[in-house]
Structure 1
Amino acid sequence: MIDNRRGWHEMLPYALLGYRTTVRTSVGATPYLLVYGTEAVIPAEVEISSLRIIQEAELGDAEWVRKRIDQLTLIDEKRMVAVCHGQLYRQRMIRAFHKKVRARIFEVGQLVLKRIFPHQDEYKGKFAPNWQGPYMVRKVLSGGALVLSEMDGTEWPKPINSDAVKRYYEVSVCISVISL
């Protein structure tokens, strides 16, 4: 392989060949097959002849052209199979996503904590708290955006994504005095 970063352009054709001849899980076919209608002949098949190469070598020119035209007429069918496979793959991914992800629904008046991200001014290092608040939800906008306000009622000028907040559960401390 290459030890330095200057020779990457020499390896690019090999990376592209690998990418174009590898079966994609999402469509169930290689990109090369979907473009040209047949699988690519990899260099190893030329050196060590495979059954496909031997069969094509024994064909006459007219017969090879007829076989290639037959392959090209079936390319639309192969592409439709890939589209159907892609749609089924997409549905499986959606089902897997919805199985793991819980919808987070916030309501007006609910108390939330806001996440402190490392790029914000409030960030004080890795040993400081990751959440600040509580804040009150003033409006719930479409797409999961929230308008928050401080506890004293001053509203924030910008909405915040609901991914950056979590529900705040108030802890009430009860001190009971036991008389002895």
Structure 2
Amino acid sequence: MAHCHDMATKQLIAARYNKKVKHWSFEKGDLVLRRPDIGNKNARDGKLAANWESPYRVREKLGKGAYMLETLEKKLIKRTWNADKLKVYYS
């Protein structure tokens, strides 16, 4: 009985957590902003530095939230980016 009660409690907690999670999905050709790497921020800018980098185009959807990006000039960004580090760019 205790095991069943424990499993039911864990499922309830997981359902409450997952209700608040935003699942992002982008398609090929969408314009997105990306969160810069921690090491790429300029130390001179301090807390006033930009939180999001200029628009990029989704080149390929790799699955499980991974995306290949390219600049607007069609230059490929070498590493993959996860959906939680991207957001939609509205122009």
Same fold (TM over 0.5): yes
- Matches of 1:83 and 1:148, distance apart in 2: 46
Ranges of 4+ aligned residues in structure 1 off by more than 6 Å: none
Provide the residue aligned with 2:86 in structure 1: 165
**Larger C-alpha radius of gyration, 1 or 2?**
1
Which of 50, 53, 65 pairs up with 1:129? 50
Q: Which structure ranks higher in relative contact order (CA pairs < 8 Å, sequence separation ≥ 6)? A: 2
Structure 1 residue 84 displacement after superposition: 1.2
Which of 18, 21, 38 pairs up with 1:101? 21
Structure 1 residue 91 displacement after superposition: 1.2
Structure 1 residue 169 displacement after superposition: 0.3
- Matches of 1:108 and 1:166, distance apart in 2: 14
Determine which structure has the larger strand proportion and give its number. Answer: 2
- Matches of 1:89 and 1:105, distance apart in 2: 30
Provide the residue aligned with 1:144 in structure 2: 65
Determine which structure has the larger helix proportion and give its number. Answer: 1
- The RMSD of aligned alpha carbons is 1.3
SS of equivalent to 1:120: helix
TM-score (norm 2): 0.86
Structure 1 residue 83 displacement after superposition: 2.2
How many residue pairs align between the two structures?
Answer: 88
TM-score (norm 1): 0.46
SS of equivalent to 1:95: helix
Structure 1 residue 158 displacement after superposition: 1.2
Identity rate of aligned residues, in percent?
Answer: 36
Amino acid of the structure 2 residue aligned with 1:160: W
CA shift digits 1:110-140 (9 cap, x unpaired): 00001124x322x022111111120000111
- Matches of 1:155 and 1:161, distance apart in 2: 16
Amino acid of the structure 2 residue aligned with 1:120: G
- Matches of 2:88 and 2:17, distance apart in 1: 22
Amino acid of the structure 2 residue aligned with 1:144: G
Unaligned runs of 5+ in 2: none
Amino acid of the structure 1 residue aligned with 2:2: A
